[in-house]
Amino acid sequence: KAGVTQTPRYLIKTRGQQVTLSCSPISGHRSVSWYQQTPGQGLQFLFEYFSETQRNKGNFPGRFSGRQFSNSRSEMNVSTLELGDSALYLCASADRTRGEQYFGPGTRLTVT
Amino acid sequence: AQSVTQPDIHITVSEGASLELRCNYSYGATPYLFWYVQSPGQGLQLLLKYFSGDTLVQGIKGFEAEFKRSQSSFNLRKPSVHWSDAAEYFCAVGEMEYGNKLVFGAGTILRVKS
């Protein structure tokens, strides 16, 4: 089975812009979660989608949003980018609740 | 709130030596526990997990971990470290009541001396 894929792998944006990141889960997995990884804050949970519904949300401002499509692919959007949004954004998929999560390679976002 | 503590930020071991990475968690219910490894510039790879049952769990690449409820610990071990094990290791606890959410420790960077 192919693993979790994320596109793009690298992205450079300017403050104030918005960005959309994409994640394709492992085939058959209906749960997709997003995490932000920074040197200062470590790995932090953003949100989880399951069967197109947001099921859980971390402590991030409303500028961070996401959605999931009927094929389980997910996108996350960050509006009005700030320098502090520079991070590695990781997507993970699972086949069920309380299942182990498998991570993609991440999207490295740099905000200048 | 749930939390995970990895007390060692860096650890250096010689190739062939044994390894133990420490992890302590704070969680009210029966925890779902995980160890992941991350190589530079890469995503996270699942090494092993504990959901229930036998408290000693085996994972990939020769790693094992032991769940000790009385100590709220889930330490990762390997009897003989290889140079390719150099990476960052993350312990995580799953908040699974409402879905799949992982709370991660700060990570331990493993360096292997030849």
| SS3 assignment, position A1 | coil
Residue B106 pLDDT > 80: yes
> pLDDT at position B11, please?
97
Of these ranges, A53-57, B29-33, B63-67, the one predicted with the greatest mean pLDDT is B63-67
Spell out which chain A residues touch chain B, with contact meaning CB-CB distance below 8 angstroms.
Answer: 4, 31, 33, 35, 42-45, 48, 50, 55-56, 58, 90, 92, 94, 97-106, 108
The answer to whether the Cβ–Cβ distance between B43 and A103 falls below 8 Å is yes
DSSP one-letter code for B31: P
> pLDDT at position B42, please?
87
Residue B114 pLDDT > 80: yes
Average pLDDT rounded to a whole number, residues B74-88 = 97
> pLDDT at position A97, please?
72
Looking at beta carbons, which residues of chain B come within 8 Å of A54?
none
Nearest to B111, CA basis, from B19, B6, B41, B4? B19
Instruction: Return the sign of the alpha-carbon dihedral for residues A96, A101, A106, A112.
Output: positive
d(CA A93, CA B43): 13
Residue B84 pLDDT > 90: yes
Query: Which amino acid does the sequence have at B15?
Result: E
Average pLDDT rounded to a whole number, residues B95-114 = 90
The answer to whether the Cβ–Cβ distance between B34 and A55 falls below 8 Å is no
A47 Cα distance to chain centroid: 8
pLDDT band at residue B45, thresholds of 50, 70 and 90? very high
* Of A35, A56, A100, Cβ closest to residue B99: A56
Average pLDDT rounded to a whole number, residues B30-55 = 92
pLDDT values of chain A reduced to their tens digit, one per residue, 112 residues: 789 999 999 999 999 999 999 999 999 999 999 999 999 999 999 999 999 999 989 999 999 999 999 999 999 999 999 999 999 999 999 987 777 899 999 999 999 9
The answer to whether the Cβ–Cβ distance between B36 and A103 falls below 8 Å is yes
> pLDDT at position B100, please?
85
- A87, closest residue in chain B (CA to CA): B41
* Of A4, A99, A108, Cβ closest to residue B100: A99
- Strand stretches in chain B, DSSP E: 3-5, 10-14, 19-21, 24-26, 32-38, 44-50, 56-58, 64-68, 73-78, 87-94, 102-104, 108-113
Residue B87 pLDDT > 80: yes
